[in-house]
Amino acid sequence: MEKETQTGKPEVKTGRPAKQHKRRQIAAAMCTPLEKKLIEVNAKRAGMTVSEFLRELGLKTRIQVKVRTLPKEVLQFTGRLNNVASNMNQLARKRNSGDELNALERALLNQGVREIHGLVLDIKAYVK
């Protein structure tokens, strides 16, 4: 809606038009002085401000995401450790509830301890 001036003519707004979405947030990135200079030079070469340049890169450039997979041996170690841990947890729960372990359960416990020792040796050999 336009206001009228004293002369009866409509008042026209001048100046820069209001932006629909103002940029008020800052996204900072740490870099070395050399990296900063290279960014500034590349922005100037592209005919952009540093903000425009970085915004374009960040919003329009596709980055290939690296999917990291663990080696097969590590996955096998993890599976074995989880199995042993589950067995030992069941035995400990029974023992902590006041029940005595029977011969089979004691044998399972000893087997679990031996498996853990074996896994430790396997891991040490794999890391070397």
Using DSSP's 3-state secondary structure scheme, residue 4 falls into strand
Burial class (CB in 10 A: 0-12, 13-18, 19+), 61: exposed
pLDDT at 3: 62
Q: What is the DSSP letter of 121?
A: H
Supply the pTM of this predicted model.
Answer: 0.40
pLDDT at 72: 83
Domain ranges within the chain, ordered by starting residue: 31-66, 72-127
Regions of the chain short of the pLDDT cut 50: none
pLDDT at 50: 94
- The residues pairing with 4 across neighbouring beta strands, listed in sequence order, are 10
